[in-house]
């Protein structure tokens, strides 16, 4: 085995799967060595040899029902092991499909089956822990992870802290010694990498939903002081005081209809959401009356503009024109697609506005076939994390952990349904369990013959689901 590993290490170096220089890892750490095992798919014999020797690490005394490769580099390795060992394989997608079955885990499996994870390289262990989390939600039992390269930067410990055995073909230190003995690298390179390993370890990790679920266990009053955005603090406090989670979508085109609805709903809602550009008879008096009602009944006004242009343009859209949104809307919605400059543009428009303002970033949408999936969601969260204008995210699921942020989930009706334009609706209980702090209710109230009765029904069901959520 030792001789095989030494020979294989030299081969991997020669096919450029091991590189020395200045690189950055997936978790953002600078590194003098980079392991790129994607190259092995161009070398079938090496590919087979590496997969075969990796599988010898598994505990033969343990029964294995399934194999799962971490996407993407480990997928072909896991596939070959599955074929050679005659053990079924499941695939964990990078993100759930937005069509068809919308499954995240592909393959035939059942709860209780034991699964082994296959991975190419571990640094922090985050990729394995994310896969483990999703497999466990399907009822699979994860026994161990087989890894080609352990970079010795804390990943093994993070994974083992989650109760999973880790076995690796190489540690980075072992690899260096094999290559040094073969004359492929110099003692200076070895020293540089060893110095790097001595000072650069990753932080301890939790399973993805362990951290995000902390927010769901907390009551709104406990989260008030955790909000970076002042308006988010006020919203959380108001939700607790009113015992309401309703953001009422008044997507109506007449000012009188909106004002009439605001008068009825005001005492029972947290936010009234409008689309100012669909109002046929918009005028300044309407805004004055709406603001008066918001003060009288204590609710906030959201303009669902969904700003999405470059910074300079959104600054003008927000503060100028016939609507002058920045002057009266407590909250607005914003797409992150144009990059961080959009936040700078919005902040510029608020230069002379003394009142607190907040934005909800549309990180995930409820329409069928939406493109806000996978990396878009991750990048949207990262981009908005440093902006104190952000009060929360518009999303369908529990995608962030910060208890100071608010999850606003659209598409809520008393019964699960969809319309003929692709909008998907979920029940109050299902959206609250999926992380919603505020639920956007529209046609379920605006189309009701008895609007007050509908409002009270949504209010009660949402609050009951919230109480059950935090009690668990």
List residues forming the annotated binding site.
251, 273, 366, 423, 442-443
DSSP state of 22: E
CA distance 407 to 315: 25
CA distance 384 to 394: 12
Active site residue 306: yes
Phi-psi region of 307 (alpha: psi -120 to 50; beta: other; left: phi over 0): beta
Binding-site positions for substrate read 251, 273, 366, 423, 442-443
Residue 143's alpha-carbon distances to 112, 123, 136, 180, 358, in angstroms, are: 11, 20, 11, 35, 45
Compute and round to an integer the Cα radius of gyration of the chain: 27
- 36, 309, 379, 460: the active-site residue: 309
Note whether 215 and 341 are within 8 A (CB).
no
Residue 97's alpha-carbon distances to 2, 29, 93, 106, in angstroms, are: 43, 31, 8, 11
Closest CA to 411 of 390, 397, 392: 397
3-class state of residue 150 by DSSP: strand
- 136, 165, 306, 348: the active-site residue: 306
Active site residue 108: no
CA dihedral 73, 75, 81, 84 (to 10 degrees): -120
Closest CA to 332 of 276, 371, 386: 276
CA distance 327 to 148: 58
Closest CA to 455 of 466, 469, 470, 439: 439
Active site residue 219: no
CA distance 434 to 398: 6
Note whether 408 and 440 are within 8 A (CB).
yes
Structure tokens at 157: 């410990």
Q: In what order do the strands lie in the sheet with 114-122?
A: 105-106, 89-92, 66-69, 114-122, 141-150, 165-171
- Residues classed as catalytic: 304, 306, 309
């Amino acid at each position: 085995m030792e001789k095989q590993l030494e020979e294989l290490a030299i081969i991997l170096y020669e096919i450029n799967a091991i590189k020395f220089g200045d690189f950055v890892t997936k978790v953002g750490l600078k590194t003098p060595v980079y392991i790129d095992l994607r190259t092995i798919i161009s070398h079938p014999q090496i590919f087979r040899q590496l997969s075969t020797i990796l599988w010898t690490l598994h505990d033969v005394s343990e029964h294995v029902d399934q194999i799962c490769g971490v996407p993407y580099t480990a997928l072909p390795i896991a596939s070959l092991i599955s074929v050679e060992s005659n053990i079924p394989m499941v695939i964990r997608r990078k993100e759930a499909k937005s069509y068809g079955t919308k499954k995240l885990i592909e393959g035939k499996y059942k709860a209780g089956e034991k699964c082994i994870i296959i991975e190419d390289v571990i640094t922090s262990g985050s990729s394995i822990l994310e896969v483990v989390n999703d497999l466990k939600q399907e009822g699979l039992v994860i026994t161990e992870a087989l890894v080609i390269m352990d970079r010795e930067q804390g990943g093994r410990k993070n994974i083992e802290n989650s109760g999973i055995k880790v076995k690796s073909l190489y540690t980075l230190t072992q690899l260096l010694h094999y290559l040094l003995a073969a004359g492929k690298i110099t003692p200076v390179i070895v020293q540089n990498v060893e110095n790097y390993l001595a000072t650069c370890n990753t932080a301890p990790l939790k399973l993805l939903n362990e951290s995000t679920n902390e927010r769901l266990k907390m009551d709104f009053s406990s989260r008030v002081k955790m909000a970076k955005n002042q308006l988010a603090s006020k919203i959380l406090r108001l939700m607790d005081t009113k015992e309401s989670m309703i953001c009422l979508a008044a997507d109506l085109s007449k000012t009188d209809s909106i004002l009439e609805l605001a008068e009825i709903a005001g005492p029972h809602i947290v936010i009234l959401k409008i689309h100012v550009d669909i109002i046929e008879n918009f005028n300044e008096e309407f805004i004055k009356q709406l603001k008066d009602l918001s003060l009288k009944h204590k609710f906030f006004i959201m303009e669902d503009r969904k700003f999405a242009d470059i910074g300079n343009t959104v600054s003008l859209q927000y503060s100028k024109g016939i609507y002058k949104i920045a002057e009266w809307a407590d909250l607005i919605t914003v797409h992150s697609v144009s990059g961080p400059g959009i936040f700078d543009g919005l902040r510029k428009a608020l230069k002379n506005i003394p009142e607190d303002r907040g934005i909800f970033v549309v990180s995930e949408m409820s329409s069928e076939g939406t493109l806000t999936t996978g990396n878009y969601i991750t990048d949207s969260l990262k981009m908005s994390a440093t902006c104190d204008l952000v009060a929360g995210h518009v999303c369908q699921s529990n995608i962030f952990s910060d208890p100071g942020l608010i999850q606003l989930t659209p598409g809520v009706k008393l019964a699960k349904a969809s319309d003929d334009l692709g909008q998907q609706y979920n029940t109050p209980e299902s959206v609250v369990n999926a992380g919603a702090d505020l639920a956007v209710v529209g046609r379920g109230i605006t189309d009701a013959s008895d609007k007050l009765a509908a409002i009270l029904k949504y209010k009660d069901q949402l609050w009951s689901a919230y109480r059950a959520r935090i009690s668990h």
